[in-house]
A and B are shown apart, each in its own frame.
Chain A
Amino acid sequence: GAVVSQHPSRVICKSGTSVKIECRSLDFQATTMFWYRQFPKQSLMLMATSNEGSKATYEQGVEKDKFLINHASLTLSTLTVTSAHPEDSSFYICSAVPGATDYEQYFGPGTRLTVT
């Protein structure tokens, strides 16, 4: 099946700094990738849809200036959490869809962000 990787798997940063998370589709091209945030014991919350070569589409309530998304190639999308605060600590998961007729989303392994 399709493989999606994410890096780093864990990151600890100080409040006020920025953190970049990478999401890569390893064996397929993904024109669209998705970024989710998951708090403990909660469901996945869609943050934004990342489109290759164009601006990301953010869900209501997600600050686009705080969560910068770049999808510069068909295999890479990045999420940068700017000026991180402790409340941004969460599990961030990306996903990608391989093709126009494939409904299944393939998830990355997730990134555990801790802001101190």
Chain B
Amino acid sequence: GENVEQHPSTLSVQEGDSAVIKCTYSDSASNYFPWYKQELGKRPQLIIDIRSNVGEKKDQRIAVTLNKTAKHFSLHITETQPEDSAVYFCAAQSGGSYIPTFGRGTSLIVHP
């Protein structure tokens, strides 16, 4: 089955800095890669996703890059703000399955 590794587990940055979270996956059949933001006690919310036919996708301050050959994908947040503080999960999913395999999560702390 799919295995998703996520690093780092904790990331502490100053407001205005950039944050990068990296994930690797094992199943070459995976073709959908969502990123979720989860605030304490709340549901995971999709913040950006990328499909395997695209190498990069950007939405305002967040961007995701995908390297299919190396089987890794990354989340980039620029100009971080305290409200970006949350746990971020990457996931990998194959086209034949609706079930994502989640990474372990990264706790992002943005200090004002």
- Please list the residues of chain A having a beta carbon within 8 angstroms of any beta carbon in chain B: 32, 34, 41-44, 46, 49, 91, 93, 97, 103-105, 107-110, 112
Contact = CB atoms under 8 A, between A and B. Distances in A.
21 contacts: A41-B105, A41-B107, A43-B89, A43-B102, A43-B103, A43-B105, A44-B44, A97-B98, A103-B34, A103-B93, A103-B98, A104-B34, A104-B49, A105-B98, A107-B44, A108-B43, A109-B42, A109-B43, A110-B41, A110-B42, A110-B43
B70 interface: no
B43 A107 contact: yes
A49 B49 contact: no
A100 B44 CA distance: 21
Given A97-B98, A107-B45, 20 more contacts: A32-B98, A34-B98, A34-B99, A41-B107, A42-B104, A42-B105, A43-B102, A44-B89, A91-B41, A93-B44, A103-B34, A103-B49, A103-B93, A103-B98, A104-B34, A105-B34, A105-B46, A105-B100, A108-B43, A109-B43
Contacts of A108: 43
Interface residues of B, number: 20
Contacts of A105: 34, 46, 98, 100
